[in-house]
Amino acid sequence: MEVQVNIWGVLAGTLVAMLVGSIWYAPQVFGNTWKKLVKLDEKKMKSEAGKAYIGMLILSLISSYVIAHVAYLSSTFYNVSLTQAGITTGLWLWVGIALPVIAGNGMFEQRPKNLILLNVGNQLVTMVLVGFTIGAIGV
């Protein structure tokens, strides 16, 4: 079987991931709470923002590609629409990978519970919406 991954779906998923992050961590949403919980230095954050955005763009591209790849396999195996497979793929990858990694690291780093919840919530919304976007665009 040849896996078909639509590059436009991957790029759209990457854009969605960046938009969700921009909204989620905006000062008007959870940004101020997040900065307080991580004790982020505003001056340092602004000086490092460019590198962080480029890094996040690359990581979002990788994540979107993986979701597209697994969603295609799931859609083919279960004979469901790519949109349904994209949503469930995003959800299951969150449950099996993002949630345990973020929560586990947060617990060992003794991060505040609210910070862990804020970050895993962001990943849940991001991964499900990326999966939906990839599925809606199709192969």
pLDDT tens-digit map of 47-90? 999 999 999 999 999 999 999 999 999 999 999 999 999 999 99
Taking phi over 0 as left and psi of -120 to 50 as alpha, with beta for the rest, 39 belongs to left
- DSSP label of 26: S
Cα three-residue angle 12-16-17, rounded to 5 degrees: 115
What are the start-end ranges of the H helices in 5-138?
7-24, 32-38, 42-78, 82-93, 99-108, 113-137
18-29 pLDDT tens trace: 999 999 999 999
Helix (H, G, I), strand (E, B) or coil at 102: helix
The model's pTM is: 0.95
